Structure 1
Amino acid sequence: MKLNFRTLGEGEPLIIMHGVFGSSDNWQTLGKVFAEKFKVYLVDLRNHGNSPHSDEFDYTLMVSDVIELMEDEGLSKAHILGHSMGGKVAMHLATQHAEKVDKLVVVDIAPKYYPPHHQQIFDGFHSVDLDNLENRKDADDQMAKVISNMGVRQFILKNLDRKKDGSFDWKLNVDAIEKSIEKVGEGIEGDVSFNGTSLFVAGGKSDYITDADHDLIREHFPKAIVATVKDAGHWVHAEKPKELGEMVMEFLG
């Protein structure tokens, strides 16, 4: 699949992948920071952002999509950064195609299985009557009946797209993602590893990476550095962009 992406800056390539329900826009602020030294590829994974939709949705396919992008761009190797689901894509890519990965950065996700925990998000999507929307405020008002947290609603509503004819639709493929949400939680299985340099960044207020996960991380990524950004939740890049940016830039050198 030909993924939608945009590039910033010049230098060694750095491919950045967002989490589930996200898009390349989520990393635009930090992408500009990284672009001071690297050629940054901000990618929309399949069924997200402006990339094509498909009923098929799993890590094998998402890895092959990124490999296709690298081949199309003539990239024999790149630094790879992924957050949450994008971090899982990055881990699978590194363990399956180590020769294509320079340094690996994984933000707030471990190589373990996570049970589905996104039902409230799906309820938010389904609460919006797309056929009878007049504006974004209508969508927010409807969603507020099932999601009280304004930040979560704003995150979801970034996916709301107004077409040329004035009608609304979701940019992402809600049905395909919901159908495959169990696969999104899959871990790194089997005796596979990436022996290159890697950085795993945990949010200090997040429970996605716990102290108990460090051994599993190093089982698959023996040279991993595990660091924490204090006072950050799961969306480390949105909550503490300066701290994360400095940490990543120092690691990538």
Structure 2
Amino acid sequence: MKLNFRTLGSGSPLIIMHGVFGSSDNWQTLGKVFAENFKVYLVDLRNHGNSPHSDEFDYDVMVEDVVELMEDEGISQAHILGHSMGGKVAMHLATQHADLVDKLMVVDIAPKYYAPHHQQIFEGFHSVDLEKLQNRKEADDQMAQVIANFGVRQFILKNLNRKQDGTFNWKLNLEVIEAAIEKVGEGIEGAVGFDGTALFIAGGKSDYLVSQDHELIRSLFPNAEIVTVDGAGHWVHAEKPRELGELVIEFLSK
């Protein structure tokens, strides 16, 4: 699949992949920072953002999409950074195609299985009456009946698209993602490890990557450095962009 992506800057390639329900827009601010030293690829994974939709949705096909992008762009090796689901794609890519990965960076996700836990997010999507929707404020008001957190609503509503005829739709493939959400949580235990240099970044207030996960991480990524960003939840790049940016730049400069 030909993924939608944008590029920033020049230099060694750095491919950045967002989490479930996200898009390349989520990393635009930090992408500009990294673009001072690298050619940054901000990618929309399949069924997200402006990339094509498909009934196939698992880590194997998402890895194939990234490999195809690298081939099309003539990239023999790249630094790979992924958050949450994008971090799982990054880990799968590193363990399946180690030769394509220079340095690996994974933000707030471990290589373990996560049970489905996005029900409230799906309820938020379904709470919006797209057929009668007049504007984005109406969508936010409707979603607020289900999701009280303003930041979470704004994250979800980045997927709201106004078509040329004035009606609205979701940019992401909500039906397929919801049907395949169990696959999003799959672990990569049993995979062949990645011996390259790796950095795992946890949010200090998040329960996605905790100290109990360190042994599993190091069993698959023996050269991994594991650090925590204090005060950050799961969306480390949105909550602590300066701290995350400094960690990535320092890691890539070693």
- Give 2:60's aligned residue: 60
Gaps of 5+ in 2: none
Indicate the SS of the match to 2:49.
Answer: coil
In structure 1, what is the Cα distance between the partners aligned to 2:246 and 2:146?
37
Is the contact made by 2:24 and 2:42 (CA closer than 8 Å) also made in structure 1? Answer: yes
> Residue 21 of structure 1 aligns with which residue?
21
* Alpha-carbon offset, residue 189 of structure 1: 2.8
Q: CA deviation at 1:178?
A: 0.2
Aligned to 2:152: 152
Report the residue type matching 2:237 in the other structure. H
Matches within 5 A, 1:80-95: 80-95=80-95
- Whether contact under 8 Å (2:95, 2:191) holds in the other structure is no
155-164 or 144-153, which deviates more: 144-153
Residue identity (%): 79
Which residue number corresponds to residue 75 of structure 1? 75
Contact 2:19 2:85 in 1 (8 A): yes
Between the aligned partners of 2:93 and 2:108, the Cα distance in structure 1 is: 17
> Residues of 2 paired with 1:237 and 1:56: CA distance?
28
Aligned residues between the structures: 253
Matched, 1:209 2:209: yes
Question: Does residue 1:117 correspond to 2:117, yes or no?
Answer: yes
Please show how residues 1-253 of structure 1 align to structure 2 within 5 Å: 1-253=1-253
C-alpha RMSD over aligned residues: 0.5
Deviation at 1:224, TM superposition (A): 0.2
> After the TM superposition, which segments of 4 or more aligned residues of structure 1 sit over 3 Å from their partners?
none
Q: Which amino acid aligns with 1:125?
A: F
State the TM-score, normalized to the length of structure 2: 0.99
Structure 1 runs not aligned, ≥5 long: none
* Deviations, residues 195-236 of structure 1 (Å, cap 9, x unaligned): 000000000111111111000000000000000111000000
Report deviation, 1:58. Answer: 0.2
Q: Please state whether the residue corresponding to 1:176 is helix, strand or coil.
A: helix
Partner letter of residue 240 of structure 1? K
Match of 2:189, as an amino acid?
A: E
- After TM superposition, the structure 1 stretch with the greater mean CA deviation from structure 2, 117-126 or 140-149, is 140-149
When normalised by structure 1's length, the TM-score is 0.99
Task: For residue 104 of structure 1, give the secondary structure of its aligned residue in structure 2.
Answer: strand
Shift, 1:191, TM fit: 4.3
